[in-house]
Every structure is written in C-alpha cells, then in structure tokens.
Amino acid sequence: MLAVLAAAACIALAVILYEEIWPFSQKSVVRDLAEASDSDISISSFHQTYFPSPGCVIEGVEFRHGANHFKLVTIEKLIIEGSYLGILRRHVARITAVGSHVFVPKFGSNTTFKTQHSKTVVEEIVANGTLVEFESEDPSKKPLQFDVHEALVKDVGWGIPLQYKLNFRNPEPPGDLAVTGKFGSWITGNAEQTPISGAYTFDRADLSVYGGIAGMLTSRGKFEGVLKHVNISGTTDTPDFEVTSGGHKVRLQSQFDAYVDATRGDTFLKHVEARYGRTTVIAEGSIAGSPGRKGKIAQLQLTSRRARIEDILGLFVSRGSPMSGPVSLKTQVEIPSGNEPFLRKVTLKGAFGLDEGTFSKPETQKDVDELSAGARGQNKENPETVMTGLAGQVELVEGVSRFSDLSFEIPGAKARMHGTYNIINHRIDLHGRMRVDTKISKTEQGVKALMLKIMDPIFKKKKKGEVVPVHIAGTYEKPQFGLDLSQQSTQQKQPAK
C-alpha cells in the first residue's frame, strides 16, 4: 500500500513539474504568449509534438488586448518547434505563423503594452503571408493594409536586439518594399527611445494613385535612430515622371535626408535635392498630422536659384514651353490628405524671378545682340521662345494660378500684368500694360516667338515709349493677344496730367 501511495505521489509530482517546467504544454504556451503580448489568448485546438523535436501546434489563435478587448492578432495555425537541448537553454528554435492577421490601433489611441520579463529566446519567427491592418483615424475610411509576403525575425528575446527581414506590398503608393535591419531591445516605460536601424529598397511605386501625376518610382536608403526620431537618407529615381495634364515624361531624381517619428507616423524633410532636365529644386518641410485637420498634411518649402522656366512649364502643358531661360523661385506648397486629384488639392504661394531683393536677378537679362546671336544658333537658348526679366508673385488654389505683378520683357516691349491661368483646363486670363520700346516688326532677325508674331500688327502704329493696355486670353494651346480697347478708350478721355 505504501508503495502504491509513493508511486501515486511521484506521478502527481511529475504531472505538476510537467505543467510547470515542460515549455510546450498548453498552459505554459498560452501563459507565455499572454505575457509576451500583454493580451488575453483564446485557442480552438492544441496538440503537442515530441518527435523528431518537441513542440506543439495550435489552431485558431486570437490575441485581444486591453480593457475593451481590442482584437490584436488572429492566427490560423501556430507551429512551435523546439529541441531537447533548447529546453535546458530556454531556447525555442522556430515559431511559424500561418494565416496571420495583425490589427494595429489608430495613432493617438493611447494603447499601451506591459510585457513581462522572460528568459526564453526564440531563435526564429516566420510569418509569411501576414496581413497587417492599420486602423484609420477617420472611422469612415477603410483601414490601411499591408500584404507581407515574407517576414523573418531572429533572436527574439528580452534585452537583446532582434534582427528582421520583411518583404511586403506597400499600399500607398503601391509598390514592393523590402526592409532589413535590427530593432530593440524594447525599452519598457520609454518605448519611443527603442533603437531601430536598417536599409530598404522600394521598387516600382506607382505614383498615379495620387491623381494628376504618374510614374514608377524606385528608392534606396538606410535609417537609424530611435522610434521617436529615426534618421533616414537615400535616393529616388522616377525615369517616367509626368504631370498627366501635360503628358511629358521626364527623369526625376532626388537625394534626401529626413527623420521620422515612428510613434506618430510623421515625416520631416531636412533636405531634399530634386533634379530633372536642367532644373534643381531644394525642398524642406514635413508630412505630418496637423491639429484640427484629418490625415497627414504635406507642407513644403521649395527653392531654386538655377531652375529652367522651360522645365517647369513643360510639365504642365502638352505643347512646348512658350519661354525658356533660367529663373529663381521660392514657394510654399501644401498638399492635404484626401481623394481629390493632385492638381486640385495642392496649394502654392510664392515668388519667381525677383522677390523684393530676396533673390539675385538670374542671368536672364540679355541685350538685343545676344538675342540675335541666339536666333543664329550661337547660344543655348531657343530663339523661338526666349523671354527675359520674368518675375512675379503666384498663388495656386484648386488648380487656378493667380498672378500678381507679373512682369517680363520680350524684344521690343516690356509688360506688367496680372490675372489667372488654370493648370487643369489651360485657360488664360491676363491683363496689364505694355511699353513699346520699338516696332516689334523691326526686332532682330530670327526672333520668331509666337507672341511677337501675333502682337506685331497691334503695335505697328504705336510710338516708341508708349504704354498701352493689353490682354492675353483663350487657352494655352490657342492664346489670344490684343489690346484692352475699353481701357484704352477710358485713358484717352482722361485729361493729360
């Protein structure tokens, strides 16, 4: 009888030790998962494996977090593989998640995690085919989804940085993103200071998703820092960039330095140098949330002292640029979130050419001899389109550019105008005054700009130095140049001063 009692006691002790020490029991595994994720765990089935290696297979796994039981993760099948030597070392060889779906709460929801310290190290986690879903800040919008083709994480443990390799489909702009690097170790109570580093490649990102622009972008870069401030630098190359209304493809390349607040999803551009044609534009600013406004707002400052007017105008018009030459510019650009086409939602306010002494006058002022030389092919300017002394202020709202104090010079005349140009339907409505320096028909031979040919009959009877009211109307494709006769009549009735 005593022997039977002793045997029963040993069996009971073995069961207790098994439940407490054996790492692949249902109780141990569920407890470890709950502590690691700060979640409540539910499963639909569980069975253990012993040969060739110890472990278990769990089906229908669900993680719910917080007081409101937010659904954090669902997994169709979780395969845990260990080794008998690993049990002693508290190492798990591999965890494979099949059919995973991860739900990320919206930014600013104040969701916190309190994970428990663990001595267990998972050597490798594989989660190919995972769908990651970010809850939108706008309840009426669908969540942002990332289709993760390949996910490999190594050395997952307490107090050590893990290594990761991810390949996934980025939703906006749609393209293939590959990332490798290190993360952690996690800093409890100060998660925003958790280190992160790595490198990325972004291939065939389709810019047409934004509406109004198109092209396939490729980017390469590296990043390093902490979650609150991740420094990132790299390059982009879009060999077929275009503004769709213009239909002209150009090669747009850039180099950039920025930093990201990964805790809020905000990006801050420290320095971006973009190049296309013979134009270089410098940008700085942010793509971040703004109090009282939905989504992320792009707020940028664009400057250039060596832009080419033909490069800028050539993006927006189907025909060639009506003018050429170097120009300076300084503008503030804002692009709000939303589904409106790019050209309708972008706003811009700034100056080009001269801006109250802020800019040095670019080398655009040529004398008639240089214009004549250009007409004979002796310089790089296109004699069909040359225009000099271009300067003014512009404000772009809902696709309409409003110009104030627009000034320019053409051989034989100087003009100051104001009005609008619609970059969507190309309609022009400009009015102002033009001073006739000489008969336009007698400018240097070879200068055949369209404006000069059309306006030449208007000025045949005008005297040198005379100021007349003029307008430019119609569309970019079919411009209409002429005198504002009503203004001229009013001026003639007024007594001379």
Q: What percent of the chain has pLDDT over 90?
A: 32
Count CB atoms within 10 A of the CB of residue 166: 21
* Per-residue pLDDT tens over the stretch 151-185: 999 988 877 888 999 999 988 889 999 999 998 77
Average pLDDT over residues 94-119: 76
pLDDT at 385: 44
Question: What's residue 380's pLDDT?
Answer: 45
pLDDT in tens, 298-355: 899 999 887 887 788 778 776 666 566 778 889 999 988 877 888 888 899 998 874 3
Give yes or no for a contact between 432 and 470, defined as CB atoms under 8 angstroms apart: yes
- Predicted confidence (pLDDT) per residue in 450-482, tens digit: 444 445 555 555 555 677 788 888 887 777 777
Q: Does residue 368 register a pLDDT over 80?
A: no
Among the residue ranges 33-42, 243-252, 288-297, 325-334, the one predicted with the least confidence is 288-297
Q: What is the pLDDT of residues 14-35, one digit of tens each?
A: 444 444 567 888 888 888 888 8
Q: What is the pLDDT of residue 295?
A: 75
Higher pLDDT, 286 or 6: 286
pLDDT of residue 165: 95
Using alpha carbons, list the distances in angstroms from residue 214 to 224, 247, 248, 322, 396. Answer: 30, 9, 10, 23, 20
Which tens digit of pLDDT belongs to each residue from 42-87? 999 999 998 888 999 999 999 998 777 888 899 999 999 988 888 8
Q: Residue 356's pLDDT is what?
A: 32
Residue 376, pLDDT score: 33
Percent of the chain having pLDDT more than 70?
A: 75
pLDDT average, residue stretch 372-401: 62
pLDDT for the residue 59: 95
Kindly report the average pLDDT of the chain as a whole number.
Answer: 77
pLDDT of 492 > 50? The answer is no
As a whole number, mean pLDDT of residues 361-381 equals 36
Supply the pLDDT for residue 113: 62
Averaged pLDDT, 412-436: 86
- What is the pLDDT, as a whole number, of residue 349? 93
pLDDT per position as a tens digit, 208-241 = 887 778 999 999 999 999 988 999 999 999 999 9
